[in-house]
Chain A
C-alpha cells in the first residue's frame, strides 16, 4: 500500500519496526510480530548465563526468513561499549545493521549525544549500517547524518513512556532537513501516536512497549500496522489547509424557504 522503506542497502515493505522485549510470552510476541506486518525486529545483546549455558536465545523465536534482525546496543553508556557490542552483534548475526544506543541517564534513558556521535563515526568507518537512537534535536540528527549514519532515529518521548510524540515541531524540522530516513524510535503508546508520527512525514516508526505492554499485544500490533499505513497515506496525500472558520460542504444557494 505504501512505498517501501529504504535504509542503506536494505528495503522493507513495512514502515513499522518492532521490538522483542517485555511481551507476556514468546508465543504472543511471535503472533504480534505477524500481526504488525513488520519486516524488521530488534534484539538486545547480553552475556550468556554461565549457569544455564545451553539455554535458548531470542534467535530461536525469530524466523529469519521473514524478519531482518536489527541488533541494538541498549544498556551501553560509552562509545567504546557500544562499538564492541555492535561488533559482537555483527559476528553473532552476520549483519551490518546496528541500532546504536548510548544511554546518558538511567532515569530518562535519554541518549548521550556526544558519545553517540563518536560511536557512530567509528561504526560507519568499520562498515556498519548505523541507525542511531537520538534526542529529537535537529542539530544532533544533522551531526549523525554527517557521520554517515544510514538513518536517524529521534525519540518521540522517553523509552517505554508511551507519552506519544511530545514535540511534533522538532520532529517536523528533523524531517525537513534530513536527507536520510527519519525513524521515530520510542514514545509511541497507542495507534494515534504512530499515525501522528507518520503524518509528520517520518519514514518509519520503531516501537516495543507500545505493543508489548498493551492489554492485547496482538490486537495492538494490528492497530499499529494500520496506523502506520494510514498515517503514511495521509502524509503522501497531503492534508487540507487548516482554517479558523467553518466552510460549508453543502451548497449555500437554493435553500428551501429562501427568498428568490
Chain B
C-alpha cells in the first residue's frame, strides 16, 4: 500500500503500524509526535495504529524558533 510520510510517497507493507513505520525509518520515538490524516496518534497507540492505503503521516519534532 501507499502512504505519504512527511510529504514523501512510500510503499508500506499491508498492516504496517505507526510503531513499525518509525522503526523502519530509524526514528527514535523520544522527541517526536505523529499525526495521521490530521489526527494525533498518541504514543501509547503507536504499536496498535495500523496505517491504511492513502494515509498521510506527519512526524514532527521541536526545532529552533521564536
* A interface residue numbers (CB < 8 A to B): 19-23, 29, 42-48, 50, 53-54, 57-60, 69, 71-72, 74, 80, 84-85, 87-89, 91-93, 159-160, 206-209, 212
Q: Please provide the chain B residues from 27 to 66 with a CB less than 8 Å away from any CB of chain A in the complex.
A: 27-28, 31-35, 38, 40, 42-43, 58-66
Q: Which residues of B contact A212 (CB under 8 A)?
A: 66
**Alpha-carbon distance between A53 and B26 when the two chains are bound, in angstroms:** 6
Given contacts A22-B64, A93-B62, A212-B66, 10 further A-B contacts (CB under 8 A): A43-B64, A46-B60, A46-B63, A48-B27, A48-B32, A59-B31, A72-B65, A80-B38, A84-B38, A92-B32
Query: In the bound complex, how far is the Cα of B62 from the Cα of A85, in angstroms?
Result: 11
One digit per residue, 1 when the CB lies within 8 angstroms of any chain A CB and 0 when it does not, for chain B 2-34 equals 000111100000000000000001111001111
CB distance from B21 to the nearest CB of A (A): 11
Q: A47-B6, A47-B7, A47-B59 are in contact. Are A20 and B64 (CB under 8 A)?
A: yes
Q: Which residues of A contact B62 (CB under 8 A)?
A: 43-45, 57-59, 69, 71, 89, 92-93
Q: Which 9 A-B pairs have the closest CB atoms?
A: A44-B65, A208-B66, A19-B66, A92-B33, A91-B33, A57-B61, A53-B27, A43-B62, A21-B64
In the complex the two chains form, is B40's CB within 8 Å of A53's CB? no
> Which of these, A21, A92, A159, contacts B60 with CB under 8 Å?
A92
Taking a contact as CB atoms under 8 Å apart, the answer to whether A50 and B66 are in contact is no
> Is the Cβ of A50 less than 8 Å from the Cβ of B63?
no
